[in-house]
Structure 1
Amino acid sequence: MKLTLRLWPFALVLICLFSISSFGKQPTQKQKSKKPLIVFVAGDHEYSGESTLPLLANILEKNYGFRTKVLTSYPDQNAEKNIPGLESLAEADLAVFFLRWRLLPADQVAMIDAYVKSGKPVMGFRTTTHAFNYPKGDPLESYNAWAESTFGAPPGWGGKAKHTHYGHNASTDASVIPSASKHPILTGVAPNFHVRSWLYRVLPNYPAKGTEWLVMGKAVNPDKAAEDQPIAWTWVNPYKGRVFFTTMGHPEDFSVEPFQRLIVNAIHWELGKKVPKNWPGMLDIHVPYRGMK
C-alpha cells in the first residue's frame, strides 16, 4: 500500500504530461487527406462541362464532404491541345471526364492513361464517347477508341459502330430499367423523367458485354427512325476499374432533379460509399446551352 501511494504522484505527473501534449493536437496532413478526392476533367466544345462540373463539385464538397478539383481546357473549351493540371489524377480517388475531340499532347494523355490503368473508378459524360480525335497515322490515333476500353462505350463517333444521334431538335424520355431498379445508383431516382439531351445511338454492339444498363432513353421528335437506347450503365473495365457512364450531359440535364440524384448517387457508389438516404431537393445547377462557339 505504501509503495502504491509513493508511486501515485509520479503517475499523476505522467497523466498531466500526456494530457497537455495531446490537447489541441491538429490532424496531420495524412488524416486531412482521407476525404476522397474527385478530379473532374472537362473540355467538350459544346455542352459547357467546364461550367456544370464546377457547380457539381461545389455541391459535393459542401453537402457531402468530398474534396474536388476541376481541370478544364485552356484557355477555353475550344482549346483542344491543353488541359493543365492533369498530374492531379495521380492523387485522385475518382476521375470524371467530360471530353470531346481533344488533341492532347502525349505527356497529358499518358497521365490520363496511367489513371485509367491504375484500376481506380471512372465516370464519363456524353461526348466522352469521342474524347479524342487524332488524325490518321498519328502516334496517338488509337486513343480515338479510348471510350471503348475505359467505359464500355462506342469507340468514337461514327465508324463501324455507327455511333450517332437523333437530331439536335430531339430530346429524351428517360426510364429506369425495372430489373435494375434496386441498384444503389437508382435510389430515389424517379422511374421516368425527361432530359434535353438528344438521344445517342449506341446499339447494337454497345454498351460493351458485361455492362449493367440502368436507364433507357426514348427519342422525342427524332430526325430519323429511332429505337430506344441505354443512356446510363455501369461496368468493370479491363483494368478492374468501376465505371459509370451516361450519354446524357446537355447542360439543361443538370437542372433536372432525377438526373442530379443519379449522378450524386453514382459518385458515392463509385467510391464505395453508401448513397445518401436523404436528398436536399433540387440542386442549384442552371447553365444555358451555348452550342458550338
Structure 2
Amino acid sequence: MNTFCFGLLLTLGGLFCSEPTQKAKKPLVVFVCGDHEYSGEETLPIVAAELEKNYGMRTIVLKSSPDHNSEENIPGLEALKDADLAVFYLRWRRLPADQLAHIDAYLKSGKPVMGFRTTTHAFNFPAGHPSAKWNAFGEFALNTPPGWGGKAKHTHYGHSSSTDVSIVPAEAANPILTGVSKDWHVRSWLYHVVPDYPVKGSTTLLTGKAVNPERMAVENPVAWTGTNSFGGKIFMTTLGHPEDFRVESFQRLVINAIHDELGLKVPKKWKGKMDIQVPYRVAK
C-alpha cells in the first residue's frame, strides 16, 4: 500500500472513530433584581423559568437580601463572571464595593446588558461617597439618563396615567419586534427621557404616549438598543410594571430581546403566553 492510501485510511478512520461533537453549551442569563416598587424579583424568575423550559437556556436569579427593600446586599454577584447576558432590574441600591466589583468586571468584559424601568436609577449613593459614580449606571451601562431627576429632568407623568406603545415604523422588521403588536397598551406610567436620551447612536424600537397624564406630556422612547460605553450590546426598556408582564406583546419583546442580546436567532415560533400574576407595590 502506498503512503497516500495509508494516509487516507488513517484520515477516514479518524472521521469514523472520532467522538461525537459536543453540544454547544447552553447560554447563561443572570438576572440581578432589587427594587422597592415593581416586584422585579417576582416577575423575572417566571421569565427565567420560561427560558429554561422552552428556550434552551440556563439562568440564575439574584435578589436583594433579606428582601426587596434591602438596598445594600445582593448575594451571589460572582455568578456574573460566567454570565453570557446580565439582566438588571434595580432601584436605588447602595451595594458594597466588593459586590459592585463583580458588576464592574462584567461591564468591562463588553458582554451584553439588558435593563428594565427603574434601572435608569439603579443606584443612589450620597454625594461624595466613593461609589457615587455608580449613580450614573443607567447612562454608562444602558444609554439612559444618569439617574433620576437632575439636569436630564428624568421623571414620569404621574402614577394615575398609563402608556400607549407603538412600534417605530422604520424598525418594524427588527427581529426583536417579531410578534409584537404595532400598537398596544401598558399600565406603566411613561418615563420622560428626551431630548438627550437614549444616548446618540441608540436605536429606538418603541415609543410611548402618556394616557391621562398628570402634566403636559410628550412622546418618549420606551425601548431601545445600542452599544454602551464599554462596547457591550444593550437592550433597555423603561416599561416593567408587573401588569406589563401580563401583556403578550411585552412578553414577546422580552424573550426576543434576550435572544438577540445573546446573538441567537429570535424564535420563529412563540412558545405561548406566560402566566404572570404579580402585584404592584407602592414605592418605598
Query: Paired residue for 1:122?
Result: 113
Distance 1:194 1:281 in 2: 19
Matches within 5 A, 1:102-251: 102-251=93-242
In structure 2, how many angstroms separate the alpha carbons of the residues matched to 1:160 and 1:271? 34
RMSD between superposed Cα atoms in Å: 1.9
Q: Which runs of structure 1 show a deviation greater than 3 angstroms over 4 or more consecutive aligned residues?
A: none
Q: SS of the residue aligned with 2:107?
A: helix
Report the CA distance between 1:164 and its aligned residue.
0.2
Instruction: Return the alpha-carbon distance in structure 2 between the equivalents of residues 85 and 146 of structure 1.
Output: 20
The match for 1:88 is 79
| Long gaps (5+) in structure 1 | 1-14
Identity of aligned residues (%): 65
Q: What secondary structure is seen at the aligned counterpart in 2 of 1:95?
A: strand
The residue correspondences of 1:20-99 to structure 2 (distance < 5 A) are 34-99=25-90
Q: 2:32·2:63 contact (CA, 8 Å) conserved in 1?
A: yes
Residue 261 in structure 1 maps to residue 252 in structure 2: yes
| Counterpart residue identity of residue 134, structure 1 | F
Distance of 1:144 and 1:289 partners within structure 2:
25
Structure 1 counterpart of 2:137, one-letter code: W
Q: Which residue in 1 is equivalent to 2:272?
A: 281
Matched pairs, number: 272
Q: Give the 3-state SS of the residue equivalent to 1:217 in structure 2.
A: strand
Instruction: Note the C-alpha offset of 1:32.
Output: 7.2
CA contact (8 A) 2:136 2:147 kept: yes
Deviates more, 1:60-69 or 1:33-42: 33-42
Q: Which secondary structure state, in structure 2, belongs to the residue aligned with residue 128 of structure 1?
A: helix
1:238 is displaced (CA, Å) by 2.1
State the one-letter code of the partner of 1:278: K
Residue 106 of structure 1: how far off its partner (Å)? 0.5
Contact 2:36-2:281 at 8 Å conserved across structures? no
- Distance, in Å, in 2 between the alignment partners of 1:51 and 1:188 is 25
Deviations 1:8-32 (A, max 9, x none): xxxxxxx9xx98x97xx9x9xxx57
Query: Partners in 1 of 2:186 and 2:42 — Cα distance?
Result: 18
2: CA distance between counterparts of 1:200 and 1:83?
26
Provide TM-score, normalisation by structure 1: 0.89
Equivalent residue for 1:10? none
Gaps of 5+ in 2: 1-12
Q: What is the deviation of 1:292?
A: 2.6
Could you tell me whether the CA contact under 8 Å between 2:154 and 2:191 is conserved in 1?
A: yes
- Note the C-alpha offset of 1:240: 1.4
SS of aligned partner of 2:243: helix
Give the drift of 1:281: 3.0
> How far did 1:33 drift?
7.6
Per-residue deviation at 1:146? 1.2
Amino acid at match of 1:49: G
Whole-angstrom distance in 2 between the partners of 1:154 and 1:143: 13
Q: What TM-score results when the alignment is normalised by the length of structure 2?
A: 0.92
1:100, 1:238 → 2: CA distance?
Answer: 21
Q: Distance in 1 between matches of 2:229 and 2:95?
A: 23
**What is the distance in 1 between the residues matched to 2:87 and 2:104?**
13
Shift of 1:188: 1.2
